[in-house]
C-alpha cells in the first residue's frame, strides 16, 4: 500500500501543475437550458405556494378597516394636508388657516421630527386620543427643513412639543412624550373653557 501512494507523494509541485490540464482548473458549467428550466420550475413552485396561501386566507372583517379620526378632517369637512391614517399633518402654509378655521375648538398640535424616538412612541397614543376625544382636534407638524421657519416662529426647541390652541391663540404647551400629562393639560383647558362660558 505504501508503494502505491509513494510515487504520487514524491512528485514535485511543478510536475503536479504540468499534469493538470487547462480544463481541470475551470469549473464545470451547467448548460443554459438546464439553468432556465430550474428557474422556471422554482417560479412555478412559488406561484403554486402563493395560490395555496391565498385560498387559505379569510376575507377581512369590514369592522377592522381603520376609521379616519375626526381630527384628520379640516373645519369645512375637506381634507387639507397629508393624512397617514392617523393625524392630519399641517405645514407652514396650512397651519394658521387651519387654526383660524376651527375657531373655538381646542387644537392639540404635535411638533415632531422623523428621527425622534419619543415622538414615534407617543404617536399611536395620540391617534387613539384623537379617536376618543371628539371635543379636541389633534394635528401634527413635522419640524423638518420645509417647516423650519414655523418651528422658529413658534420657538420649538425640543421634540416632541405640544401646543394647545383655541381661537388661533396658544393657551398651553408642554414638552416630552408623557400621555398622562398631555391628557391632564387637555382636561384643564377644557375645564377653563367650560367655566368661562
| pLDDT tens sequence for the chain (197 residues) | 444 544 444 555 555 555 555 555 555 565 555 556 777 887 777 777 766 665 665 555 444 434 434 444 434 444 344 455 689 999 999 999 999 999 999 999 999 999 999 999 999 999 999 999 999 999 999 998 889 999 999 999 999 999 999 999 999 999 999 999 999 999 999 999 999 86
Burial class, 73, CB count within 10 angstroms (exposed 0-12 / middle 13-18 / buried 19+):
middle
Q: Tell me the domain boundaries of the chain.
A: 70-196
Q: Which of 8, 23, 116, 143 is catalytic?
A: 116
Catalytic site includes residue 116: yes
- The CATH code of the domain at 70-196 is 3.40.30.10
The 3-state secondary structure of the chain reads CHHHHHHHHHCCHHHHHHHCCHHHHCCCCCCHHHHHHHHHHHHHHHHHHHHHHHHHCCCCCHHHCCCCCHHHCCCCCCCCCEECCCCEEECCCCHHHHHHHHCCCEEEEEEECCCCHHHHHHHHHHHHHHHHCCCEEEEEEECCHHHHHHHHHCCCCCCCEEEEEECCEEEEEEECCCHHHHHHHHHHHHHHHHHHC
In angstroms, what CA-CA distances link 64 with 67, 87, 96, 122?
Answer: 9, 18, 34, 22
- Does this model's pTM top 0.75? My answer is no
Amino acid at each position: 500500500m505504501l508503494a502505491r501512494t509513494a510515487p504520487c507523494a514524491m512528485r514535485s509541485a511543478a510536475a503536479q501543475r504540468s499534469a493538470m490540464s487547462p480544463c481541470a482548473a475551470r469549473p464545470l458549467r451547467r448548460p443554459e437550458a438546464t439553468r432556465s428550466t430550474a428557474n422556471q420550475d422554482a417560479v412555478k413552485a412559488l406561484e403554486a405556494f402563493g395560490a395555496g396561501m391565498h385560498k387559505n386566507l379569510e376575507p377581512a372583517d369590514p369592522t377592522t378597516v381603520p376609521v379616519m379620526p375626526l381630527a384628520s378632517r379640516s373645519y369645512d369637512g375637506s381634507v387639507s394636508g397629508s393624512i397617514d391614517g392617523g393625524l392630519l399633518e399641517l405645514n407652514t402654509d396650512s397651519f394658521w388657516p387651519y387654526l383660524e378655521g376651527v375657531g373655538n375648538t381646542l387644537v392639540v398640535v404635535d411638533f415632531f421630527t422623523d428621527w425622534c424616538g419619543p415622538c414615534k412612541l407617543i404617536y399611536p397614543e395620540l391617534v387613539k386620543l384623537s379617536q376618543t376625544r371628539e371635543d379636541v382636534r389633534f394635528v401634527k407638524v413635522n419640524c423638518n427643513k420645509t417647516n423650519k421657519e414655523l418651528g422658529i416662529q413658534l420657538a420649538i426647541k425640543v421634540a416632541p412639543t405640544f401646543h394647545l390652541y383655541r381661537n388661533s391663540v396658544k393657551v398651553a404647551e408642554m414638552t416630552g412624550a408623557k400621555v398622562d400629562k398631555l391628557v391632564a393639560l387637555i382636561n384643564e383647558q377644557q375645564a377653563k373653557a367650560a367655566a368661562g362660558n
